[in-house]
Amino acid sequence: MATNAGDSNDLNWRGEFRDANREALFRRTMQAHDACQLRHALVIAAGLFLAFSLTDFSLLGSSPAFMVLLGMRATVATTLLLLALWVWRRPSLAQAPLPINLVCLLAVSGLLLTIPFRPEGTLTNLASTVAASMALYLFVPNRLPWMLISNAYLIGGFLIAMVIWSPLPGGVMVNSLMLLGFVNLLCWLTVSRIHRLQRAQFGSLLEERSNNRLLKNEIEKRTQLEQGLRHMARTDELTGITNRRRFFELAEQERRRAHRDGTPLSLCMVDIDYFKAINDVHGHAIGDLALTVVAARCQSALRESDIIGRYGGEEFVIALPLANLITAREVAERLREAVSLRPLEVNGVTLDLTVTVGISRVDDGETSIDPGLLRADRALYAGKEGGRNCVVATPHGPELVLLEGVPATLTPGAVRATASAAAPAAVPAGGPLPDRS
């Protein structure tokens, strides 16, 4: 909050917020504190009120007047203790004007009624009145107008009682009035200062919480922005799959893991058949839709551990951890069938989507995935030359015999890669590939 709670423009003469809603919020916040303070004040007042029975006894002895005073003090003390118990059970009573002021009225009236029974105890009566006046200001969590009213009743009652039952010389009466007036003025200023300081602290607390909320919201916005930027940096905007850079990062991690654990890692190059014709005949909008659909269908056919990324144009690249060529070929065939299973229908146009897949395995001695990608790319090229809509695997080491033993029904129309297709060549990661549309 920009407004300072300690500013005099925010507070009225009672030391309370001018804004009623803010004052109500402050009082709700202080309810538990006020209840605790009121309970302590009531218990202490009950004890002190009973303790003054000793003074009564010293002045009156065991006379009937003393017994009346003792009964009255016991009644007032019991009432105060019962109210303390009530406030303990219902803390909201600490801020309710009626019960608080009724108790103040009872306590003050009980104090004033002691004057007729001990008229000669002038100093004791004056001391009791001063103590009660200070207690009404400092210990009872009441609002300032009610404090002033209670003290006006106390001082007025004290003066009337003294005039009727214990007249004082003029000088003593003036001194008593000046003392009571000074005590009231001092306590009034003290209570007003306490109220202002409490509300200043409360305003600072609200301002701090508001700033913390703003800071938290700003941090959340920045975090969301960072996540969005990170997502954009790792994801292909059109298809929603991993982009080229992120794919190479993840694939290199898998290559290092495979080299460390001695497990196989295979790579797939996927190309949409006749994609250039789709773009030329139906436009780039339908071409983009075809890319998105193919990417989604490919991803649905992969295992959870597999990594797919958009390589560029209509080409996708896939890393298959823990997959030799036979496993990779089965995954690729499942992927090919998922793409060609049903045609794409949009705006009255029906497209039979198919893909050609080239497969290779990363050799244990290779320090990057580039040679494996080149072999997969050459296998893909062979598949394009052989009629498209097929899966072609580059034979690799001892798996050649097993690969030749795979039933032909797994890859209808597939073309076998030649030995020259498996020859190594150094090509930069992510380098341009020939157009096979």
pLDDT of 410: 34
Q: Identify the residue whose tokens are 């009672």.
A: 14
CA–CA distance, 430 with 249 (Å, rounded to integer): 11
pLDDT of 271: 96
pLDDT of 358: 96
Q: Angle, nearest 10°, between helix axes 122-138 and 144-165?
A: 170
pLDDT of 162: 85
pLDDT of 73: 86
CB 361 within 8 A of CB 265: yes
pLDDT of 400: 33
C-alpha distance from residue 256 to each of 249, 304, 436 (Å): 11, 19, 31
pLDDT along the chain (437 residues), means of 10: 54 84 88 89 87 82 86 88 90 86 87 80 82 89 90 92 81 86 92 90 90 94 90 88 93 94 95 93 92 94 93 94 94 95 88 95 91 94 92 66 35 36 33 40
> How are beta strands 355-361 and 391-393 bridged, if at all?
parallel
CB 266 within 8 A of CB 361: yes
pLDDT of 119: 67
- H helices of 52-169, in order, are 53-60, 64-89, 97-117, 122-138, 144-165
pLDDT of 221: 93
CB 255 within 8 A of CB 368: yes
pLDDT of 121: 66
pLDDT of 382: 93
Query: Where are the domains positioned within the chain?
Result: 8-212, 244-422
3-state secondary structure of 269: strand
pLDDT of 10: 81
C-alpha distance from residue 217 to each of 53, 204, 223, 224 (Å): 63, 20, 10, 10
Q: Which CATH architecture has domain 244-422?
A: 2-Layer Sandwich (3.30)
Residue 8 host element (H or E): none
